[in-house]
Amino acid sequence: MNDPILEMRGVSKSFFGIKALRAVDLTVYAGEIHALMGENGAGKSTLMKILSGAYRPDPGGEIRIEGKPARIEGPLGGRAAGISIIYQELSLAPNLSVAENIYLGREVSRSGLLARGTMREGVGPILQRLGADFLPSTLVAHLSMGQRQLVEIARALHTRSKILIMDEPTTALSAGESERLFALIRQLRAEGLAIIYISHRMDEVYALGDRVTVLRDGRLVGSLDKQDIRADAIVRMMVGRDVSSFYKKDHDPEAGKGHPVLTAIDMADGHRVKGCSLTVHAGEVVGLAGLIGAGRTELAHLIVGAAPKISGRLELEGQPIDIRTPGEALEAGIAYLTEDRKALGLFLDMSCLDNINLAVLGRDARLGWFLDRDKARERADRAFAGLSIRAANVGVPAGGLSGGNQQKVLLSRLLAIAPKVLILDEPTRGVDVGAKSEIYSIIDNLAKAGTAILVISSDLPEIIGICDRVIVMRSGHIAGEVRRTETAPLTQEDIMALATGTEHLDA
Amino acid sequence: MPDNGSTPAKAATADGLAAAQATKRQRVRLLIRAAGMLPVLLLLCGGFHYLSDGRFFTGQNLGIVLQQAAVNTVLAAGMTFVILTGGIDLSVGSILAASAMAGLTISKLPELGALWLPVAVLTGLGFGVINGALIALLRLPPFIVTLGSLTAVRGLARLLGADTTVFNPSIPYAFIGNGSLTLVPGVASIPWLSVIALLVILVSWLVLRRTVLGVHIYAVGGNESAARLAGIKVWAVLIFVYGVSGMLAGLGGGMQAARLYAANGLQLGQSYELDAITAVILGGTSFVGGIGSIWGTLVGALIIAVLSNGLILTGVSDIWQYVIKGLVIIGAVALDRYRLQGSART
């Protein structure tokens, strides 16, 4: 192989005496896709921030770019050294046009006036090369998440970056958009870029990675070449132990058969959901699959009264029930775990204790008003023990926890009401491998205890791993259902066929 | 539930140690945050005592400071509720004037005179609830709604007295405006106005920290969408906080009326909202909502009162008092920002 484009040797970083990164080596070659994996807190983002210039590494390590020692300093340092980072949360200004975003910070001006025309022409060829289907003058606010990602990539190419770092780029993308992104990433590889690809998702690493490097607790665990990339090997490297059964499904769906808990009939909101009906039985885990934008989250919002419906009715344990607000849903025993825990779920400044107890404060209160602090404390302690939430104590603000622990705190709030129906929207998004497996086992135990569970997920292996049957949505309709049988397991192909509308093509 | 029993003992102790350390750090941080502006207040007191040749820490002067802080403390307590939800109430000065006018007018009626104080408080509550309803039910921005009522209620205050000053030298319960509660006869007493202010602070603390409603107020300020999805009746919380702010402005109006035996719809309570907001901000309550405490607000209100009093004691001219007060506010908040930034890393 040719000389490496990026070489990191013995790079460390500590914060106030705590080592976030310990003597990590990383070698990346031009024209390769280098997957970087590790649980949350393993040091991936610290490493990335060193490459971007946001953090300065501890003395002693060495970073070479194209063989020359590089000093990356300040937020623009990474870009100057030819490194661009595309963050999970995209860093575009939605109120500006595509061209203005690409030129942000390096605007072209003519005698002090902004040269909009020149800028538009300047980005044209790059957008074309990326196969963009929008104009340089389009406002970013009008673009989909996938299109925004293209703008980020265009910005990186425009600064002539040689190394492109992507942090979980498919988190907000639909399956189709992800496929297009993968094709583009392969094209960039062919053009000679080095791509560092950070992801939690095994299927993506399979599909893309030429090499995988795994970090754990700030240390380099090792690298695997393409032919050695296997899920169990990577998981073992990430968590440092064998994960015998990653997905846990011990509950017996037959147990609750014939006892429908939640029945939704003809739900519609007039935009994204067009007459959907579904039933979830006691003790059953039902998947709700579909492409992003198929209306799964919107349907869940209709069921719990978080959005106004124009038609549809609900039955809970056979009785008609009218739900107009999420509060009424909770009272009836229907709990919904949002897909966006930071924006719609948690109160990041409030303690874990308050976050966990929020839904039952009124029920527990003394004289109807006064907090029962002992009961709240007890409940929070139980949740911490039962769901193995890792934080210093129940009093710390929820915002300081890792993604997996935040998710467990939010889940504890819902479990506090002892729900009959639990709707989980992307329950393991942004959650590390260890916590993922714990969440699966919580779901499994709830099903065993008779809870009716509906899981919305874009992670097909996850849906197949934990669900008894899968309802598939496509553009606002229920496209069909895939069942697990004695002889035939659930397959990604069957689900994708329904989700994309190609199920009749095989026949 | 996942079985955690197999965790090696060594890892458990290491975890425990780290947790204990984190708890300790957490405690220190909380202490710093809770102390907030208290050191600034104490420094100001000490400084003025020195600069005024020992005239600050006298029983009489401290009584004056407490009395001067009282009305603003009451307004700022209400403002704390509002700002904790991420809102703002610009109308408290006008509501204070209108409530004082309504109270004084009633106090002159022979058969209803004794009811003047409840009337003042209820007048304030009424205006506050209207503010809250407009904000919660019509989803109008708090700044706009209360900016509107700042003007409109001021007009109503003037209408109530036909644009004159209403006097009542024999107003019932006048003692709350000028009397003092004797703690130790001949040695220590505390103005009734300050007693009321302290009670308001205590009840506010009770509501904010010990009731379900209090948690809901912090939740709405912390993340309104999440609060709605968590089943909190956001509209009810909003009506409540603006109602409280209005009601306490009404109480403030009653306190002023009792103190002055008079009220003027045009002049009373002019720009009081600014002092109330300043006290809340000095007290460390976040302007975007969700973070803050009523004790901080009390300290903030005291800082404002001590500044006014101390600058007079040291003979600083009226014009320079404005400049210095403004600079202290900016400086104090800048210090606070800096202090919190240092501890924000987790």
Give me the DSSP letters along A200-214. Answer: S-HHHHHHH-SEEEE
**Residue B22: burial class (beta carbons within 10 Å; 0-12, 13-18, 19+):** middle
A355: left (phi over 0), alpha (psi -120 to 50) or beta: alpha
**What is the distance between the alpha carbons of residues A382 and A377, in angstroms, rounded to a whole number?**
9
pLDDT of residue A1: 53
**What is the distance between the alpha carbons of residues A372 and A317, in angstroms, rounded to a whole number?**
32
Closest to B346 in 3D by CA, of B35, B31, B33, B29: B29
Angle at B274 between CA B269 and CA B276, to 5 degrees: 85
**What is the distance between the alpha carbons of residues A238 and A205, in angstroms, rounded to a whole number?**
14
Handedness of CA A200, A206, A209, A215 (dihedral sign): positive
Interface membership of B226 toward A (CB under 8 Å): yes
Query: How far is the CA of A411 from the CAs of A280, A285, A406, B219, in angstroms?
Result: 19, 16, 9, 17
The amino acid present at A82, given as its one-letter code, is G
pLDDT of residue A248: 75
3-state secondary structure of B222: helix
Is B215 in contact with A354 (Cβ distance < 8 A)?
yes
Is A395 in contact with B1 (Cβ distance < 8 A)?
no
Interface membership of B166 toward A (CB under 8 Å): no
pLDDT of residue B4: 43
pLDDT of residue A156: 86
Q: pTM (2 decimals)?
A: 0.77
* Shortest alpha-carbon distance between residue B203 and chain A (Å): 13
**Structure token pair of residue A47:** 């490493």
Of B1, B22, B218, the CB nearest to A392: B22
Is B218 in contact with A393 (Cβ distance < 8 A)?
no
Of A371, A395, A400, the CB nearest to B210: A371
pLDDT of residue A494: 85
Of A349, A358, A371, the CB nearest to B230: A358
* Shortest alpha-carbon distance between residue B221 and chain A (Å): 9
pLDDT of residue B23: 62
Cβ-Cβ contacts under 8 Å for B172 (sequence gap 6 or more): B107, B113, B114, B116, B117
Query: How far is the CA of A135 from the CAs of A127, A128, A436, B27, B317, in angstroms?
Result: 8, 10, 40, 54, 63
pLDDT of residue A347: 94
Count Cβ atoms below 10 Å from residue A460 Cβ, excluding itself. 20
Is A349 in contact with B210 (Cβ distance < 8 A)?
no
pLDDT of residue A506: 44
Which residues of chain B have a CB within 8 Å of the CB of A441?
1-2
From A384, which residue of chain B is nearest by alpha-carbon distance? B1
Phi, psi values for residue A269, rounded to 5°: -115, 0
Which residues of chain B have a CB within 8 Å of the CB of A16?
345
Is A438 in contact with B2 (Cβ distance < 8 A)?
yes
Interface membership of A350 toward B (CB under 8 Å): yes
Which residues of chain A have a CB within 8 Å of the CB of B22?
392, 396
Q: Render each residue's pLDDT in chain A as its tens digit; 507 residues.
A: 578 899 999 999 887 666 788 899 999 999 999 999 887 667 888 888 888 888 888 888 889 988 888 888 876 788 888 898 887 766 788 888 999 888 887 787 777 777 788 888 888 888 888 888 889 999 988 888 788 888 988 888 888 889 999 988 887 777 778 888 898 899 999 989 999 998 877 778 888 889 999 988 788 888 888 888 887 788 778 776 555 557 777 787 675 566 899 999 999 998 889 999 999 999 999 999 988 778 999 999 999 999 999 999 999 999 999 999 999 999 999 999 998 888 899 999 999 999 999 999 888 888 888 999 999 999 999 999 999 898 888 998 998 888 889 999 999 999 999 999 999 999 988 787 778 888 999 999 999 999 999 999 988 888 888 999 999 998 899 999 998 877 778 887 788 888 877 655 443
pLDDT digits (tens, 9 = 90+) for A376-435: 999 999 999 999 898 888 998 998 888 889 999 999 999 999 999 999 999 988 787 778
Of B19, B228, B290, the CB nearest to A326: B228
**Strand order in A163-167's β-sheet?**
A83-86, A163-167, A194-198, A33-37, A211-216, A219-225
Closest to B105 in 3D by CA, of B96, B95, B117: B117
Q: How far apart are the first and last CA of chain A?
A: 47
Task: Extract the residue ranges of chain B whose pLDDT is less than 50.
Answer: 1-12, 342-346
Q: Which B residues 6-35 touch A at CB under 8 Å?
A: 15, 19, 22-23, 26
Interface membership of B232 toward A (CB under 8 Å): yes
pLDDT of residue A356: 95
Interface test with A, best of B30, B215, B233, B340 (most A CBs within 10 A): B215
pLDDT of residue A167: 86
Strand partners, A28: A6
Tell me if ipTM is over 0.90: no
pLDDT of residue A342: 87
Is A347 in contact with B1 (Cβ distance < 8 A)?
no
Interface test with A, best of B210, B220, B229 (most A CBs within 10 A): B229
Interface membership of B343 toward A (CB under 8 Å): no
**What is the distance between the alpha carbons of residues A453 and A474, in angstroms, rounded to a whole number?**
21
Of B26, B212, B225, the CB nearest to A396: B26
Closest to B306 in 3D by CA, of B72, B70, B74, B45: B45
**What is the distance between the alpha carbons of residues A244 and A229, in angstroms, rounded to a whole number?**
18
Interface membership of B225 toward A (CB under 8 Å): yes
Closest to B305 in 3D by CA, of B70, B8, B77: B70
* Shortest alpha-carbon distance between residue A329 and chain B (Å): 8
Is B1 in contact with A442 (Cβ distance < 8 A)?
yes
Using an 8 Å Cβ cutoff, are B273 and B97 in contact?
no
Interface membership of B215 toward A (CB under 8 Å): yes
Interface test with B, best of A15, A40, A341, A361 (most B CBs within 10 A): A361
DSSP H/E element including A65 = strand A62-65
